Chain A
Amino acid sequence: MSENGLEVVSEIEKVAHGIRRRVLQHTISNNGGYMSQACSAAELLSSLYVGILKFSALGQPIDPPAFIGVPAVGPHTYQTGAQFHGEKRADLDRLISSPAHYALVIYAALIETGRLREDGLEHFNRDGSTVEMIGAEHSPGFETTTGSLAQALSQASGIALARKIRGESGRTWVFMSDGEFQEGQTYEALQAARFHGLTNLRVIVDVNKAQCDGPMDTVMTIEPLADRIKAFGWEVSVIDGHDIDGILAASEKTTDAPHMILCYTDPVRGLPILANRAPVLHYLRFTSADERAQYEQAYQEMTK
């Protein structure tokens, strides 16, 4: 780690805390939100945006554009949410986010890192807005359409292959969720990325062990996940997804194969009362005024 290591880690901690706080605030004011995803992925996403990704700086946070239409056949001028990641350049990184259901968390990360305007979440899930509940390629922080899960790894592999053909030094990062390892396409993508030697492809996974129906081991187990991925010839790092030093160290590993970082995470980290909702944590909607008050109390403690 660089000599600025401590400073960077402290900034990542601050941003991670901000992501949880902002998503909780939004969940309370909207009586619903993807809260557990913020709890599990806060350190992972803040490490990416603050410490790992080589992005160009933005002059100032961007106002989310209004939705102007779906992509159409014609000269490819469609503006994607990648503008929030800065310039598209050969030496810079790209981030393709696969689980579009994490959109709220990604928007929060963009706000906390000065890429999306502070009031950006006021557009969330509003008619005519690009700040959609499940992000699409016009949404801040997204550049492909991945709401039908497990398609981003293939898309990003195509991007990485194009960049390899052109000899670009920038890496193509993919943020994935563990549920996507139930889809067959993921394994097709793993074999192809290895076969085509895409060492410029880096994947980081939020292994929070939770999905829509409940705990993954009751829905369809994916373990032993690391062994599965290694069997496809990938380099795999298994780490605690809340350990910022560990995430940064894994991200710097140089490998002869595509690299995947499995971040094992706790879906209630930083918000212990969320555990009362177990086993189903996918989406939080309050069932009583009393429950809502408890979360308001938790929010007050978080802002201290």
Chain B
Amino acid sequence: MGFLAPWFLAGLAALGLPLWIHLLRQHRTVPRPFSSLMFFERRTQSSVKHRRLKYKRLLLLRLLLLLLLALAFASPYLLRSIAGMAQKRTVVIAVDRSFSMRYGDDFDRAKREALARLAKVPQGTPVQAVALAGGVEVLSQPAVDAGEARAAIAGLKVSDGRAPYGEFARYLRTLSESTKLPVEAHLFTDAQKTAMPAGFADLRLPSDATFELHAAGARERPNYYVESVSAPKRIYDPKRVRIQATVTASAAPKAVREVRLLLNGKVAQTRQVEVPERGRAVVEFAGLDAPYGWSKGEVAIDSADKLGADDRFLFSIERTDPRKVLFLHSPRDSRSPLYFRTALESSSEGAFQMEARTTDQADGVALANYAMAVLSDAAGLSAGAEKAIARWVSGGGNVLVTLGPASSALAKAPVSGETLGGSRYASRSGERFFAAAQVDQAHPATQKLGQMEGVKFYQAVAVEPGNARVIARLSDQGPLLLEKTSGEGRILLLATTFDNVANDFPLHPGFVPFIEQLSRYLSRMDGAVSNVAVDSFIELRRDSESQGTAEVIDPDGKRILSLEQAAKASGFPADREGYFDLRRADGRRETVAVHADRRESDLTSVAQETLALWQNAPGQTNAAAAAESTSKPWSPWWYLLLLLAVISAGEFFLANRYLSTDIDASEASPQKEAA
């Protein structure tokens, strides 16, 4: 028995209090009236006889109360033997079936050893089989019958996922807490270093657990693999496509590898690359003559090791025509379309193709053919054209409205409907120009814009923001760039123009990336990559309220979504390598290439010291620790509290009884006197 807070035992000194009350103060009773003390003399009796304890039961209860109170605060604990419990434990057989276990016959060996260990589990011991792939997969529930676990392990196949040891340790902790039984865990794995968590504390095992790691693979395993591929998701001009691949040697010597670029199964290009020892080399492929639509790309190297699955890296690519941008401008303004077109065509991928029209040519334009529209100081837009644009925007179209001298005469901005307050000229208010004061760089359209240093704005139109979000402001705190939504479409409002008259922004380096980002944002071109790793979550619908159905066809050509999932699922986890053909909820079709996490290809093993430390972490290294592990501290706190409550009730009852008797007696005496 021990105490967690022994200093509270000092409270036992309070035991003297009831003794003092009952013993020393007891004889100081209420004086009894007598007619005369004429014939009495003071006599002192023996203290032993005189100071007799009164209310012994009450005193006993009070002493017990204080004793238990002090004990309860001192937090006593008893070491209870769990020797009987040690006999009963849960045996967990875990098999690593991660991507790296494809190396040679590592996985088969791990399975064989696991089955052999399973056969050694004594009869009557609950046993559970789990697998490590992208997390912890429970193959069977803890059961005395090992048949289920055996069948599950025998039927295991290697996966493309990762084996996180941290999650395995967490699972063991949870299992120990839920079953209240000690856990004996056996992990059959290749002890890959990249499977270790960031902090060693995440490997913490339950205090009553025993753990043994069975490393299946050799310590040094050379491996060459394609670590990454950088390819655009969409291409518009095949000649301008650049694809980069990184080839890595893990624990492998320097070698020359042949790198092939395959498109839809056919070799498109081949390169030779020299990979340094334990290093990496980059290969670049220029131009890709891909057909229109989605193509399945792959970068592969010639296999030279026991892990051939990582010698290829998948990616998907879509070839499409450049998107058309409608630019409506005043007939007198020829400078704005010039600057805008130049900036748009200067972008690296050539994803946009601008079509300029004057405002008097806006009627009857088929807006559905355009990814976005720009209304450049379009004050002369007819009412019919403006309504048509507004309808188009509500249905999902996107428009950029710039306001110049012609627009300053309007009461409201075209299409967006923001209230305008006329032109503001910097030279007339004492300043020669305005500068950009606040730019929200978190907005997708202004991410690469910076703070627009050095840009001078001479004229701007005053805009009342209303419900619109202000993205950028001028130095006079007037809005420069605003955004609002109308139906399903986006409207950006710029309080100046691109004509290099109201400002000198088109001459600054930030203009081109601004136009590119703005165009991508308005045309809803996401910057998604062309490939994702296994166990990534692929989004099927942006808005959970979207009513459309999604469809996913796995690399084997099977639909993996049920009808309910197709109607409601916001995404799905890609659990294997290959090409997934998607039809998103909004109707867009896409091919997603999924590749194994390349951390699995780094076959460097965990240091022996670390493994030893992990296995010994629960504390079974010496006899004392073993003895300690067979006993468990048990706190009788609740029982003490219960006893305290009972004694308190008894004390209350007795004290009330005694005290009421005394009070009655003391009240009776004066009455007698009065009578």
Please indicate whether A and B come from the same complex rather than being unrelated chains: no
Binding site for A on B (CB under 8 A): none
